[in-house]
Amino acid sequence: MKLALGLAVCTLLAGAVVWAQADKTDFAEYQGWMKSNGATVADLTKNLTAKDGAAAHTDVRKLQENLAMVMAYWQSRNVSDGVRFALDATYGLAQVDALTSQGKFDDAAAALKTAQASCGNCHMAHRDKAADGSFRIKLK
Ligand code: HEC
């Protein structure tokens, strides 16, 4: 009986350690998508100003790839507003892409600002800044 209980506790503890590690990996991966988002939005802004449609299109695709991962992250945690912010940003970027392909670079730049508001909405709801300036994920 004691042995069984001991084993059960050990299993639980091992499970907790694995879970904590998995969560850390998740964060590093998540942060990778976000750092890429930041750099790619900056590049996209530059490419729209330069009226480089091909490069702008590549940036949009990269952002949408990142956002698909971000959306899945929130989906798997059943956080519906997180999913919606990621979707809104994705649709906004589709708008940027459509305007870019028509050569309407100024309108595309304006649409990008709108898409970025969806990034900002999620940051307000789910991003926390620690005292050292680093960011955290707020699930609730
Ligand atoms: C569904 C929610 C959500 C969406 C949508 C979202 N973000 Fe984030 N973002 C977060 C969270 C949570 C963090 C904090 C964790 C982190 O730093 O990665 C974050 C962090 C960041 C960071 C800081 C990364 C770091 O740690 O240095 C940048 C830059 C960023 N996001 C850019 C963007 C841009 C640009 C978009 C839109 C194209 C976007 N994000 C869309 C939730 C979101």
- The CATH number linked to 112 is 1.20.120.10
- Per-residue pLDDT tens digits for 83-126: 999 999 999 999 999 999 999 999 999 999 999 999 999 999 99
Residue 58 DSSP SS3: helix
Residue 116 CA: nearest ligand 1 atom is 37
CA of 30 to the centre of ligand 1 (A): 8
**Overall number of domains in the chain:** 1
pTM of the model: 0.87
Say if ligand 1 is within 6 A of residue 73 CB. Answer: no
| pLDDT at residue 14 tops 70 | no
pLDDT at 22 over 60: no
CA distance 26 to 9: 25
Query: Is the minimum distance from the CB of 34 to ligand 1 under 6 angstroms?
Result: yes
Check the CA dihedral 114-36-73-138 and report its sign. Answer: negative
Residue holding tokens 């996209």?
44
Question: Containing domain of residue 105, as a range?
Answer: 24-137
Q: Which residue among 123, 139, 140 is best mutated to probe the pocket of ligand 1, counting the most ligand atoms within 8 A of its Cβ?
A: 123
* Residue 74: inside a domain: yes
Residue holding tokens 């507003």?
A: 81
Q: Give the span between the Cα atoms of 95 and 90, in whole angstroms.
A: 9
Element (H, E) at 50: none
The DSSP output letter for 133 is S
Query: Reduced to 3 states, what is the DSSP secondary structure of residue 84?
Result: helix
Separation between Cα atoms, residue 91 and residue 89, nearest integer Å: 6
**112 within ligand 1 shell (Cβ under 6 A):** no
Position 12 in a domain: no
Question: Is residue 73 included in any domain, yes or no?
Answer: yes
